[in-house]
Chain A
C-alpha cells in the first residue's frame, strides 16, 4: 500500500479539481454512510481512550479496597467495582490498552508476513509454492485458538509472546487469501503488459500485483482486528494471555465469571466493549475496501 501512495503522488498537487486527491477520496468514501461514520468515530474513540488511559481513568485499576467489594454502578464508580473492590471503569479503560494493542499489532504483522508468503507462493509457483502451501496447511490444520494455546504453552505468557502467538495463528489465513488472489491477478493481461513495458519481477509484484490484492487483505485485516481482540480475550480467559492483576478485556471477563453473582457489571461492560470494537472495525474495514477499489468509489 505504500507503493500505492507513491503512485498517487505522481499526479497529485497541481489539479485538485480534475484529479481528486487520495485524502479527499478517503474522506468522501468514509463519510458516505451513517454506519461508516459511526464506526469510524467508534474506532477513533477507542484508540483515544487507550492512548489517554492514565488521564481518563478515575482510579488506579490495580488498587484494591475491601470496603468497596461488588458495588453496583454509582456516581463514584460508574461501572461498579469487582470482587476486590477495584474500579471496573478504570480497569476497562486500562484494559483497552492491552486489547487494542493485541488487536492492532498482531493482524498487521500477520498480514505482512502472510501476504509476503502468499504472494511469493502464488507468483513463483512450483517448488516454492508447494513448500509454503504445505507449511500453511500444517498451521491451518489446527483451530486458531488451539494453535494459540499450544504456542503460548510453549513460549509462556508476556506481551510480545502473546503478540507472536496471535500473529502465527493468523498468518496462514492471510497467506491463503494472498496466494489465491495472486494466482488470479497473475493471469491478468495488465501484468503481462507490465512485463512488456520492461518491469522486472520485484517491481511487477509491488506495482501490479500487491495493489490489486490489497482490498481482500485489508478487509481480512480489519476482520481480524476483531478476532485478535477476541482471541486475546480467550487466551486471557484461559489464563495464558494478559497476566493478572493487569487488566485486559479478556481477563476482566474471566475474573468476572468467577464472581458473576457478586457483580455482573465487569462482564457486561467488557462484553459490550468487545462487541462494539469488533463491530466498529468490521464496518470500518468494509469502508476501507471501498476506498481501495476505484470502481466502487464513485
Chain B
C-alpha cells in the first residue's frame, strides 16, 4: 500500500471543510443527578473520502462515540450532554429527531460488529439490501433488483442473481458481513461507520473483508470511520488514527506517525501488546491494570494508575492535547515535556 501517497492526499483534503467534524462530544449515562460520563470532550474530523480509525480497549467509549454520531444512543439511560457533530456543515445533534431517519442509511451508513445477528432471519438478503434503497430513493422493483445484484457483485458474492432470494442462515459469517457491507453502501453513503467489522470473523475472512472495505472505499469514494481495538486492522484501512482511553481522546495523528513514534504512553502500550510473528518475547506484553470505570477518575490523567512514565503532575491535572509534531498530538504531560 502506498501510505505516503494517501497521506499526502489526506493532508490536501484536510484543508477543505471536513465531511464529519466532531467537537467536544460528551455522553453521559445513568441518572441526571449522578451521571456517568462515558465519552468526554471527544473531537476529530474526517475529510470527504478519508478514513479515520478509532482505537481503544473495551470500555474506552469508541462505540458510544459512533452511536452518538448516528443519533443511536439509547435514551434513557444515555444522553449527549455537550458537543457538536457536524456533517457537511450541519449539526446533527441540533436536528429534530424526525430528520435523522433520512440521513441514516443515505448519507451515513453503519456496519455492525455481529454479522450473525445483524440480519433479519425472516427476510431474504435481497429484500434487506433493497430496503435502504426503497426508503431513500424512488425506484421500481426491477431497478432495485438490478441494484441489489450490482451491490452483491461489488461485495464479491458469487452468483448474486441466485443468492438474492436466500435467507441469512444460509450464509457463513464472512458472507453475512459482505451482505451487511452491501446493505450499508446501498445508497452510496458519504460516510461509512464500521464498528469492529472484523472482530467476529476468523482471520482469513478478516483479511478478505478488509480488502473489500478498501475496494468499496476506492470505488465509491466513501469516507470511513473505523472502530476497532485491533491496531493492525486500523493500520490497514485508516490514514488517521484517534486513540481513545476512558472516554477521552489521548492521541490523534497520521497512521504512520503514530506507529513510528507513538506520543502517548497508552498508545505505546497498545503497540507493544500486539503479538508479532518475529517476537522473541517469552510473554506477551500487557498494560497492567484495567480501564478505570466511568466516574472513578476524579482529577488528573485517566491513565495515571497504569502509566509507566507517570510524574506527580499527572495525578493533579488532566493534560490537554499537545501538538507533538505536525499532524500528531497527544494528551500527555510527559511526552509534551520531553519533546518541547
A residues neighboring B (CB under 8 Å): 4, 7-11, 14-15, 18-20, 188-190, 192-200, 203, 207-208, 211-212, 214, 292-295
Contact = CB atoms under 8 A, between A and B. Distances in A.
Contacts of A294: 121-122, 167, 169
A294 B70 CA distance: 31
Nearest to A15: B161
Nearest to A21: B165
Interface of B: 70, 72, 98, 101-106, 109-110, 112-114, 117-124, 126-127, 130-132, 135-136, 141, 144-145, 161-162, 164-167, 169, 180, 183
B74 to A, nearest CB: 9
B118 A211 contact: no
B162 A18 contact: yes
Nearest to A187: B117
A90 B43 CA distance: 81
- Chain A interface helix/strand/loop/mixed: helix
Given A18-B162, A190-B119, A211-B120, A196 B70 contact: yes
Contacts of A211: 120, 122-123
B130 A10 contact: yes
A219 to B, nearest CB: 15
Contact of B135 (A9, A18, A20, A198): A198
Contacts, number: 110
A239 B83 CA distance: 70
Contacts of B127: 7-8, 10-11
A292 B122 contact: yes
A18 B161 contact: yes
A197 to B, nearest CB: 4
A295 B167 contact: yes
Contacts of B136: 198
A179 B162 CA distance: 36
3 nearest CB pairs, A to B: A19-B165, A198-B105, A197-B105
B109 A197 contact: yes
B183 A193 contact: yes
A198 B165 contact: no
A207 B131 contact: yes
Contacts of A190: 117-121
B131 A199 contact: yes
A10 B101 contact: no
Given A193-B112, A200-B101, A294-B167, A4 B122 contact: yes
A7 B166 CA distance: 13
Contacts of B122: 4, 211-212, 214, 292-294
Nearest to A209: B120
A230 to B, nearest CB: 31
B319 to A, nearest CB: 35
Given A190-B117, A198-B103, A19 B164 contact: yes
B117 A197 contact: no
Contacts of A203: 135
A194 B134 CA distance: 13
B112 A192 contact: yes
